[in-house]
Structure 1
Amino acid sequence: MGVGDKLSSLPDRPGVYIFRDENGEVIYVGKASSLKNRVRSYFQASAGANPKVRALVRRAADLEYIVTDNEVEALLLESNLIKEHRPRYNVYLRDDKSYPYLKVTLAEDFPRVFITRRVVRDGSRYFGPYTEAGAVRETLDVLRRLFPFRTCGQKLEEGRPAKGRPCLNYHIKRCPAPCAGLISREEYRAVIHQVCLFLEGRQEDLVKELTRRMKEASRKLEFERAAELRDQIAAVKRVLEGQKVLFTDAGDLDVLACARGEGLSLVLVLFVRHGKLLGKDQFFLERTEGAGEAEILTAFLKQHYARADYIPAEILLPDAEAEELPAVEEWLSRLKGSRVKISLPRRGKKKELVEMAAENARLALEEARAGAEISRRSDEALQELAKELGLPGVPRRLECFDVSHIQGAETVASLAVFEDGRPAPHQYRRFKIRTAQNDDYAAIEEAVSRRFTRFLEERELINSGRLSTREAGFYRLPDLVVVDGGRGQLACARKAMEELGFGHIPAVALAKGEELVYTADAAEPLSLPRDSEALKLLQRLRDEAHRFAVTYHRKLRQKRTLRSVLEEVPGIGPARRRALLKAFPSLEAIGRATPEELAAVPGMNRRAAEEVYRYFHPAEGEDGLQAPGGGPRRHPPG
């Protein structure tokens, strides 16, 4: 019995309908308040105007349906079936990867806060999901600066702390050391409560709580503790300054908007918590050809909130009426356990929010398209590079070395990394050259040797279980090594690689000016066309390595200048010089510092701070600026 034969027997009841192709594969799943009316609508003449519907009807060879008690149950069943079968003609939210969450292990006596990609019912609280791993790492870093908590995996129980001395995190004030019994369970959980307030967006409540505790510490004459709380309050307020206050009624909203593309669309979500705009996330949906804005947003609502850890009290959508919204609203209310309202604002501040989300969605989709085009061109450049150099495969990871110095002083080398043709700045490395201070060839050899030596060291640590691959900085090997220079630099790099057993990795040199590519085997350098994408890729990589090397060289040179100036200040020995160099990045920064700020540097006291201040702010006399003691000043500020 075909699809047409079953149309007359469809019931006028809510349920789910399933179209299959001639091979029995599920190609579409839908839900309806009336199966009879909804399925028949696919075969009416007006439905043929939609190319997606025409293709679906043409391929549909069989029809099944499941009757449910109400539309909400049909919606839930539809969601499960789409997730199971991933039908070809359904709008589908990309969730083939697991998104990171911040997990707070509240079931433990001394909870931890860490990143996870698995949500399990173990009594913990989860905040997320975050679509960008960088965003969740940044949030965790902010939390660790504001609130010291443990990150180790030790099993700690009240009254039975682990034995041993506190680790380094305790000494740098990143952990209160519950493992050593230096904080009670109640005090530690109060810190974790503050973490949760911060993640919930309730920073004002957090400031009130911290202020109360600061005043209480002052009353008890615990001034050091009060000062710590004061600094925490200041840090939280700095976070608050960057948040846009939208509503004074402290509402929780998700604001959705859609940008449609060819086969791929984007839904952007603005998060408003307690009246403040906290951030945004973006999600890509596939198979959206011919789908309208309402259909895409409805599909997103059903698929995203089915797995979301938090559902706000109100969700704002563009003014694109969809017949399913009342059922989705009821379904979301059941998931949340309280009323969820879906609004389509037509005026006022909420309407402005929806328009803001729409503009951000449009820009995000354009950026994604541009990124896809860059990826395509990068892939073409890598394939061309592999062909021109005769490489065994496409070089996905490129590493480039460069050297920087001025007349042999402060010689440094840099390592820039490109992955899939694009910079990977977090993997860049720099080397302060130890041996050759006026020899570019020897400097290249030393840098390359140290890079591959570190790989061997890390491999041994990983094999012994003392280091994870995530923590390793040199464990990934390049597919191609590039050095800035000519045949001499290449020979030095090859020598270092061969001595350490890495002679099988291809290496080339790119000479400035003529832009010739030197290889180990060819007698003559390779001259690539100036418009060659492979050459442009090598040039971008070389320029990145050069920029990174020069930046590091300037930093060291500036520190050396600052160190020599501080040597002239009475009472400032090596230890205090190091402390000042760590606290202030430049001469200008020290010159602008007050005596109080100078005295706050570890190892400094009031007298030493005043000496430094007088050196940079000498008395004004007849001959102009005077150095301490009346002598001429050698290094004016700036």
Structure 2
Amino acid sequence: MEIVNNNIDIKEDAISSQGKWKKTHLSNCDISTTDILKNSVKNNFGASLLGDTRDLFRPKTSDIPNQPGVYKWRDDKGKVIYVGKAKSLRNRLSNYFQPLNQLHPRTQSMVLTARSLEWTVVNTELEALTLEYTWIKEFNPRFNVVFKDDKTYPYLAVSVNDDFPRVWITRNRNSKSTRYFGPYAKVWQLRHSLDSLLKTFPVRTCRQSVFVKAHKTGRPCLLADIGKCSAPCIAKVDRKTHRNNVEQLVGVLTGSIGDSYINDLTREMKESSDNLDFENAAKIRDKINIFKTVMQQNSVVFDENVEADVFGFSGDSLEACVHAFFVREGLLRGEKNWQVERSEDISDADIIANLLMRVYSEYESNNNLQYEDSLKIEQSRNALQIDLENTKSKYIDSAYRAKTTKERKKRQESTGRGDLLDPITPIPREIIIPFEISQNQCENLENWLSKLRGSKVSIKVPERGDKRNLMNQANDNAKQSLMRLKSSRISSLDARSSAMNEVADALGMSESPLRIECYDISNTVNGEYQVASMVVFEDGIAKPSEYRRFSIKGSDGNGKLDDLSALYETISRRFKHTSSGDVDDDYGENLEKSKYKKFAYTPNLIVVDGGREQARAAQKAMIDCGIKNIVVCGLAKKLEEVWLPNNEYPIILKRSSQGLYLLQRARDESHRFAITYHRQKRRRAMLNSSLDSIPGIGEFYKKRLLSVFGSVKKLKDASVDDLQKVSGIGQAKAKSIYESLHK
């Protein structure tokens, strides 16, 4: 690896798992553009001057390798703001140093924000593709294309390793002891289908903790009372019968149980009718209607051996939408839509190629898909396995039976049990795209996907037939998504821009507050359970993933500060490491722990709930942390006045002002978030305090009692005999608990 820092050359070798990588780092050299202009017509790297900030790090064209690689741009704080890949680094990077008027507006903004450039040379384009994805995932660069999608599509999950398997709906496929079936098109359809089928196949759907609790107490859940669970928790059904119900329920949902099942039910209905058993005939008729409805939701679009992901595309110079259909065993199992905001001048083909890389890389990491496991998955991916010897099921189509018996017997010999199928690989045999991508990209992606799957994967553009029709339908869906995106943004974007401009004008800011952080304090009258909240608005939209909540500590660690001191502590904890770029747990409790690194972004505006004094407390905390370039204001509740810390009089915004509405939304959201956290803390404390008064009951027995009874209310309703059923609670202790709770 060769690292070049200004005029100092340092040699260092590094070998990646896929080959040798050679890295060249060109960093900011702590000089200004003015200094460069004074000293020479070239910058420190020998490149011609452009007359803007790119002169600080522009390399000579001849110094850039003419090889495949990946590059990173960093801002003045060293934060990665863009990651890209190139077949030829020299050709690609040279494009960034054209005259500004020849660059895409977003590319202009990126290169003028950047203060350093790094690149890594790799052997192949596939290595570049993989490394680019890894860096994007690691650094989350602000200028990269962002694929905004809806939630991952739903699967039906079965915990086959349990004595009584559980059936539930999930969007994650990350458990090796669970079998997954799907994906399905709509989660509400799957929920409705599962709920309907539970009347016929009353199987367990509860979590393990609920199951164990019901087993200990001998009281099943409500689903058992309404006939949607056979109550295996209290041994109302044996293991064999319950597993048979699970297998048949999954068989109906996945389409593995064919029309022969409906035909058998129809014959049973006719027999009941002939025997004048009309009540039973009506029940069977209702079953048939349920099964037909469920089966119609998974319509057959191809032959049963077709397995493909079909992508459609629609876009313009600013945005694009991609829509995908997922076909498994000839059935349309799911769909998904992505919205892409172009952050640079990227082609439609590159968007599709990047999306494919990220979609299947995400599956690889989320589902723990390993190369060495791919062959095993390939062998068992095609259908639901039902243990014919144990279940004696007569509902499986003969062709399906013959196809699966051999594989099932092999697995039974190795595992000793007739389980449901191993997870189906999310990577299909065929990927359909709306237009050609470069030959190199296509070959690299096919090789990579084939390695993940364990068998050949092909990427095609269909010219005719059913696949072409389905791709056209995906294109239409993408086009409609783009139209909805545009129409929703036309009104909302104008309103948000107007609101941010009004706030900037009112507060004397030089630019619109693209990131606003709002803080609020919540506590009881005597200061107990004191907490603070921080909510974030970006581009006028709430961003819950970056919300934070704080437990106020105070000097003794118990809080109970006045509101101004609590606000000072909160702001100090937020900003105390910002200048150094470090982030630690003292920043507050994030709902998504893995995203602490995003907390390092500083806001343009701080809003606090209150008036001038609150604004001054926040400003003092920031100054003490070395932060002086962020505007602070307070929003008082009564008259909705806006206070700046150093102004004697408030700023009055019109009641109809979009700017005031934006500040109110931020203030109200921070209040909601703070009071929710405060109530949670108070509820937990009150729950514990109710049990603290019981003599001889420590933390261990508190947890055990609550795990069995679920709440203090149910604990109070329990008799002495009920309390004695808890492990470790004898008659004397049970009587003491009962008397303490009924004083």
What TM-score comes out, normalization by structure 1 length?
A: 0.50
| Higher RCO (CA 8 Å, separation ≥ 6 residues) | 2
